């Protein structure tokens, strides 16, 4: 594939956005779908072509393409310039595959899911806009263009979370997502300023090669840059302390949650850390921070996920937790494992969200698991596909999640990090919790008695027309179940690209990403036998099974046991159910004081007193002048002209005579 064709990959969805965004309101729905889906499909085809180009024997390790627009660049001043430049290496190739393929499947699914919604065209326009920015993000060859995609996906996310903008909760959630992400961007921007100050460039190749040429650069300002990048990544990838926006983002339509808030956008932070691994490798301190943030987030979010009732919120916290795993992987220098988990997670979490969407669709908008149950027989395709997703995320071999999660845990265990074993322990506990909350979701939704009140079906729907035909619970149409089936298949086999050697595999993904990460990556110092690796893997399977059995006992055997346990520890339960009151704490500690300070001290004291007061003091001393001015404003334009002329004459007089009189 010619390198210049790279530009088509993002620009095709952008064209879809332009058409639907400007004309969509007047187009019939099938045409809107076609305008949105065809470019996305073509982008996926281009990716396939690109794949074969790069896999061909003798193909270069990376392809570059620089667009020459006006002035041959994007920003160009003396001493700095930034291009519209794309680059593709094996890492990009994986990301591109995830974005285009999963993206296309979710577009397809949305045709069914959004069929009865108002603003159908608007939805697809935004979705295509998202695809455009996400593809720019993964294709860019410099930090600045990456930041374009980075901010752009944030914008698309803002627009899509607030899709039902008449609902205050949706508008609030969109705003929160954007602002919290901006906190991350603050860090990202500062990191870029430091990069420019030290390297004079933001090109990946320039920056990374100059770091490689200077082995003496260790820590120091590189640590500062790395930590600032972590702030950015923590915002986008919903890590502690900036994870708070992601659960609220579930206000958006479910396909959006699947595409943006599970499979693609939120992984941008992990991608960025992996991309900048040359910087991170020089700063063990920053890597340690990444690992600790990841592990802590994984555990913390899993805790909250165990007690949520809204099916989408469980999945949201699960996403935060899984992203924590990926962070952990990057933090112990196992970038390949992180990207591997990113890949498999994209499959099974997209599947889980879409299947949850299918459940919600079947129940006409119901999202509370306390009102579900017994759906196994009534929506069989959804049930079976979701089962694959649940098994995959819970880490049951040989499904996808097992291989990738196990790789991360193993890498943490053997990492030279002094607290590597502790990180592993946190990871394995989280794995058990993950298994528990996912099977809890599975049992509560699909097994037991039906707790769904069919007479009130439709009350929860965003749009009453969604409770169409009045035939109650129903399986979704093929356009929705087909993506589910494909993703279920991928959730089963997706992990087989990374089967470790002790199980007779060849770890293809490791070899594939080796050219990207081999440069300067921390090597595993401990030589570990396959026996240890197998033992660790066996242990994590055991943990997953324990999680399953606890969920089985609590929610299938004797439903109600969980509630009685919850009653026994009311304070603890309420604490976790209310998400540790983090939102409330942020509100009380940061937002409210800031607003109060602005209103009272800055607005009242400084602006009202100091700034205006000094003005009034000047005004008072010139009150005579003020009344003069009032008299001047007689509304007669000729008198103004007269005053003007008089003033000018005075000035000139001062100039001519003053010059000789008092200035010498």
Partner 1 sequence: MNIDHNILTIITFVPLAGAIVLALLPDRDRIQQWGALAVTLLTFLCTLHLPFHFDYGVAAGTFQFQQNSSWITSPAIRYHVGVDGLSMWLVVLTGLLAPLGVLISWRVIDNRRRLFYVLFLLQQVAMLGIFVSLDLFLYYAFWELSLVPMALLIATFGRTENRRRAAIKFFLYAFIPSAILLVAMLWLYARTGTFDYPQLAQMAAAHSISSNSAALWLASLAFLAAFAVKVPVFPLHGWLSDSISEAPTAAVMVIAGKLGLYSILRFSFGLFPAQSHRIAPLMLALGAIGIVYGALLALVQKDLKRLAAYGTLGHVSVVILGIFAFTVSGIDGGIYQTLNEGIGGSALFMLLGLLYERYRTYDMREYGGLAARLPWIVTMFVLTALSVVGLPMLNGFVGEFLVFSGAMQSTIAHHIGWTVLATSSVILTASYMLWMIQRVFYGDLGRRTETIAAPDLTAREHLALWPLVILFLLMGIASPVWLRAIDTAGAHIAATVNRSQSVTMDFEASRASKPVSSSSETALNMTNQSASTKGAR
CB-facing half-sphere around the CA of 453: CA atoms within 13 A: 8
Give the range of 26-34, 325-333, 355-363, 646-654 binding partner 1 by CB under 8 A: 646-654
Contact 247, 317 (CB under 8 A): yes
Q: How far is the CB of 20 from partner 1 (least distance, A)?
A: 14
Give the range of 56-64, 361-369, 556-564, 641-649 binding partner 1 by CB under 8 A: 641-649
Cβ proximity to partner 1: between 55 and 214 the closer is: 214
Contact string (CB under 8 A) for partner 1, positions 73-92, x = contact = xxxxxxxx------------
In the structure encoding, which two tokens stand for residue 156, read together? 């698309």
Nearest Cα neighbor of 359 from 231, 460, 268, 259 is 460
Cβ proximity to partner 1: between 493 and 597 the closer is: 597
In the structure encoding, which two tokens stand for residue 413, read together? 């265990």
Residue 11 is a binding residue for partner 1 (CB under 8 A):
no
Residue 640 is a binding residue for partner 1 (CB under 8 A):
yes
In the structure encoding, which two tokens stand for residue 410, read together? 């193993």
Contacts for 258 with CB less than 8 Å, ≥ 6 apart = 106, 109, 349, 350, 353, 354, 357
Q: Looking at residue 368, what DSSP letter applies?
A: B
DSSP for 588-652 reads IIIIHHHHHIIIIIIIIIIIIIIIHHHHHHHHHHTHHHHHHHHHH--S-HHHHHHHHHHHHHHHH
Cβ proximity to partner 1: between 61 and 607 the closer is: 607
Residue 645 is a binding residue for partner 1 (CB under 8 A):
no
Among 4, 518, 598, 639, the residue binding partner 1 under the rule CB under 8 A is 598
By CB under 8 A, the residues from 260 to 299 that bind partner 1 are none
Among 3, 34, 38, 148, the residue binding partner 1 under the rule CB under 8 A is 148
Residue 646 is a binding residue for partner 1 (CB under 8 A):
no
Beta-carbon count within 10 A of 192 CB: 20
Give the range of 250-258, 383-391, 411-419, 656-664 binding partner 1 by CB under 8 A: 656-664
Residue 248 is a binding residue for partner 1 (CB under 8 A):
no
Residue 200 is a binding residue for partner 1 (CB under 8 A):
yes
In the structure encoding, which two tokens stand for residue 548, read together? 């399953």
Among 23, 31, 66, 190, the residue binding partner 1 under the rule CB under 8 A is 190
Q: How far is the CB of 111 from partner 1 (least distance, A)?
A: 23
Q: How far is the CB of 568 from partner 1 (least distance, A)?
A: 41
Among 518, 612, 645, 649, the residue binding partner 1 under the rule CB under 8 A is 612
Residue 504 is a binding residue for partner 1 (CB under 8 A):
no
Residue 588 is a binding residue for partner 1 (CB under 8 A):
no
Among 3, 7, 116, 182, the residue binding partner 1 under the rule CB under 8 A is 182
Give the range of 291-299, 442-450, 578-586, 648-656 binding partner 1 by CB under 8 A: 648-656
The rounded distance, in Å, linking the Cα atoms of 406 and 391 is 14
The rounded distance, in Å, linking the Cα atoms of 148 and 203 is 14
- The crossing angle, in degrees rounded to 10, of helices 335-362 and 400-414 is 140
| Pairing status of strand 80-82 against strand 84-88 | unpaired
Cβ proximity to partner 1: between 194 and 396 the closer is: 194
């Amino acid at each position: 594939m010619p390198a210049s064709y790279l530009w088509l990959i993002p620009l095709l969805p952008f064209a879809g956005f332009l058409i639907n965004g400007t004309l969509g309101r007047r187009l019939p729905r099938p045409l809107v779908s076609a305008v949105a889906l065809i470019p996305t499909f073509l982008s996926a085809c281009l990716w396939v072509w690109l794949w074969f180009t790069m896999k061909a024997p003798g193909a270069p390790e990376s392809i570059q393409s620089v667009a020459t627009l006006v002035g041959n660049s994007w920003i160009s001043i003396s001493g700095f310039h930034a291009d519209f430049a794309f680059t593709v290496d094996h890492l990009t190739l994986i990301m591109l595959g995830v974005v285009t393929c999963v993206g296309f499947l979710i577009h397809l699914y949305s045709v069914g899911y959004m069929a009865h919604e108002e603003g159908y065209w608007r939805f697809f326009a935004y979705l295509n806009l998202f695809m455009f920015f996400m593809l720019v993000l993964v294709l860019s060859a410099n930090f600045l263009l990456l930041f374009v995609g980075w901010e752009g996906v944030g914008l698309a996310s803002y627009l899509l979370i607030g899709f039902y903008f008449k609902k205050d909760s949706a508008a609030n959630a969109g705003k929160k997502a954007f602002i919290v992400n901006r906190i991350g961007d603050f860090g990202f921007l500062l990191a870029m300023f430091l990069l420019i100050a030290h390297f004079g460039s933001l090109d990946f190749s320039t920056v990374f090669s100059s770091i490689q040429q200077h082995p003496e650069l260790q820590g120091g300002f590189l640590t500062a840059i790395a930590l600032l990048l972590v702030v950015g990544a923590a915002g986008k990838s919903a890590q502690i302390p900036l994870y708070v926006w992601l659960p609220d983002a579930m206000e958006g339509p479910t396909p959006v949650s699947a595409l943006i808030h599970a499979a693609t956008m939120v992984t941008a932070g992990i991608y960025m850390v992996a991309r900048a691994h040359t910087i991170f490798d020089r700063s063990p301190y920053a890597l340690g921070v990444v690992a600790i943030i990841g592990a802590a987030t994984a555990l913390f979010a899993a805790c909250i996920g165990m007690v949520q009732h809204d099916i989408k919120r469980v999945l949201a916290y699960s996403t935060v937790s899984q992203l924590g795993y990926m962070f952990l992987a990057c933090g112990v220098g196992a970038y390949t494992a992180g990207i591997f988990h990113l890949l498999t997670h994209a499959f099974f979490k997209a599947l889980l969200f879409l299947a949850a969407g299918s459940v919600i669709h079947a129940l006409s908008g119901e999202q509370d698991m306390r009102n579900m149950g017994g759906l196994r027989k009534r929506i069989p395709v959804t049930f079976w596909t979701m089962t694959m997703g649940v098994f995959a995320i819970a880490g049951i071999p040989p499904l996808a999640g097992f291989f990738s999660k196990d790789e991360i845990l193993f890498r943490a265990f053997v990492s030279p990090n002094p607290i590597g074993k502790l990180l592993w322990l946190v990871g394995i506990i989280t794995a058990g919790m993950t298994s528990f909350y996912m099977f809890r979701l599975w049992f509560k939704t699909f097994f037991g008695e039906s707790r769904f009140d069919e007479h009130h079906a439709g009350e929860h729907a965003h749009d009453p027309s969604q409770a169409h035909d009045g035939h109650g619970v129903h399986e979704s149409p093929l356009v929705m179940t087909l993506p589910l089936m494909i993703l279920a298949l991928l959730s089963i086999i997706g992990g087989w690209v990374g089967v470790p050697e002790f199980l007779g595999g060849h770890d293809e993904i490791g070899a594939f990403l080796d050219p990207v990460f081999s440069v300067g990556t921390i090597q595993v110092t401990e030589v570990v036998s396959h026996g240890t690796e197998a033992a660790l893997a066996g242990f994590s399977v055991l943990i997953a099974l324990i999680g399953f059995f606890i969920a089985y006992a609590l929610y299938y055997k004797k439903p109600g046991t969980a509630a009685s346990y919850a009653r026994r520890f009311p304070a603890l339960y309420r604490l976790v159910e209310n998400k540790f009151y983090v939102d409330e704490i942020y509100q009380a500690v940061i937002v409210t004081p800031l607003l109060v300070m602005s209103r009272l001290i800055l607005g009242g004291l400084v602006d009202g007193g100091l700034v205006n007061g000094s003005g009034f003091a000047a005004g008072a001393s010139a009150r005579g002048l003020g009344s003069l001015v009032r008299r001047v404003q007689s509304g007669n334009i000729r008198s103004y002209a007269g005053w003007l002329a008089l003033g000018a004459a005075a000035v000139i007089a001062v100039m001519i005579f003053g010059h000789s009189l008092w200035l010498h």
